[in-house]
Amino acid sequence: MSRRSRLGLFAASAAGLGALLLWAVAGLPDFGHYRGPYGYLLNRAAPSERHVSNVVSATVFDYRGFDTLGEELILFSAAMGVALLLRDAREESARPGHAERSDAVRLVGLAFVPVLLVLGLVVVAHGYITPGGGFQGGVLVAGAFALVWLAGEYHAFRRLTPTPAVDFVKGTGAGGYAVTGVAAMLLGGAFLHNFLPLGTAGTLASGGTIPVLNLASALEVAAAFVLIFTEFVEELAAVRLGGDG
Amino acid sequence: MIPLQAVAIGLVAAAGLAVVLTRDLVRLALLSSAFGLTLVVFFLVLQAPDVALSELVVGTIGIPFVVAVAIALDRSK
């Protein structure tokens, strides 16, 4: 196809796509005037029904808890896929020495590890009181471990995240979520129905099963991200060892 | 749309364009992180702190880490 006809084809399809997009945007609700009644309804109902002050958490871990189970399993399978693909292609005996990092990078990196870890735990623990929750806090905790490696401490990183322990935490998170749902069924409710005492809104003891599911997803997310980071780091280490020779 | 929201959207658009136009990989890693930060500001301005936190952890921990390792892998080969 000549350059001229390709440009013509592009111009025609870009104009068509542009027109369709403009048409779609013209049909959207006005900016800031969202039409779904569901959000307004939950904002009114959730604080009194579930005794939590973060309605997003109540939606994610209660009203839409089943969707979150699916999302957890997506992350679970994705991390498993990364591990299966990369572990298989690598020689397990390869172990690198210390990477060269400047003192400044090591000092600043390691200084931020406890900060990130505590921040992650706070975000998890208060997920149903203030913005945050298992996903965000879980990634922060995993980030603290990644920072250990970035600061040049490969061996410390691997000692802190032994694969059997990471796999165990990951399975406990995903399984714990499902088991909580089944427990609700054994007690006569629907799958993932809230069955624990609701407590006082705005305190750590509130929300019934929401804190349990929040913790389960935090374990799953933190472990899944640590697992993915570990596989990438090991892959890099194997390539560096095998390179040049 | 209040001016603050317009500024936030403009920042997202500018950062997104910069990411698309960048060819150098290290610059791309830094810029995509900065792009994530403009999205965080945008979500905060629209009063969606939970979404802002999710974007913050994915955009500043998840993606840069994977991109950094990918760049290191590319250089080791």
Q: Using alpha carbons, list the distances in angstroms from residue A123 to A120, B53, B65.
A: 5, 10, 21
Distance CA A127, CA A137 (A): 8
In A97-162, which residue ranges form alpha helices assigned H by DSSP? Answer: 103-125, 134-150, 154-160
- R_g of chain B computed on alpha carbons: 14
Q: Give pLDDT, residue A245.
A: 35
Instruction: Tell me the chain A residues in contact with residue B58 when contact means C-beta distances shorter than 8 Å.
Output: 139
Distance CA B66, CA A120 (A): 20
- B72 has a chain A CB within 8 A of its CB: yes
Say how many CA atoms lie within 13 Å of A183 toward its Cβ. 12
> B54–A123: do the CB atoms touch at under 8 Å?
no
Phi and psi torsions of A206, nearest 5°: -150, 160
Q: Are A54 and A202 in contact (CB under 8 A)?
A: no
Q: Give pLDDT, residue A189.
A: 87
Give me B75's structure tokens: 């250089």
Tell me, what amino acid is at A106?
R
Q: Are A139 and B58 in contact (CB under 8 A)?
A: yes
Distance CA A151, CA B49 (A): 30
Average pLDDT over residues B72-77: 81
Average pLDDT over residues B27-55: 92
Average pLDDT over residues B22-33: 89
Q: Give pLDDT, residue A92.
A: 58
3-state DSSP percent of chain B in helix, strand and coil, to 5: 90, 0, 10
Smallest Cβ–Cβ distance between B57 and the set A139, A236, A243 belongs to: A139
Chosen from B61, B73, B74 to mutate, greatest number of chain A CBs within 10 A: B61
Average pLDDT over residues B44-62: 91
Distance CA A78, CA A84 (A): 10
Residues 6+ apart with CB under 8 A from B73: A235, A236, A239
| Burial class of residue A223, CB neighbours in 10 A (0-12, 13-18, 19+) | buried
| Burial class of residue A23, CB neighbours in 10 A (0-12, 13-18, 19+) | exposed
Average pLDDT over residues B27-32: 89
Q: Spell out, as residue ranges, where chain A has pLDDT lower than 50.
A: 244-245
Chosen from A64, A236, A244 to mutate, greatest number of chain B CBs within 10 A: A236
Q: Give pLDDT, residue A99.
A: 61
Nearest CA in chain B to A32: B1
Percent of all residues in chain B with a pLDDT value above 90, rounded to a whole number: 56
Smallest Cβ–Cβ distance between B57 and the set A136, A233, A236 belongs to: A136
- SS3 category, A38: helix
Instruction: Tell me the chain A residues in contact with residue B77 when contact means C-beta distances shorter than 8 Å.
Output: 239, 243
Residue B71 reports pLDDT greater than 80 = yes
Chosen from B51, B76, B77 to mutate, greatest number of chain A CBs within 10 A: B76
Residue B43 reports pLDDT greater than 60 = yes
- A86 has a chain B CB within 8 A of its CB: no
Give me A174's structure tokens: 């995903």
Q: Give pLDDT, residue A244.
A: 45
Closest Cα partner for A153 from A209, A216, A103? A103
Interface confidence (ipTM) of the complex: 0.87
CB atoms within 10 A of CB A62: 23
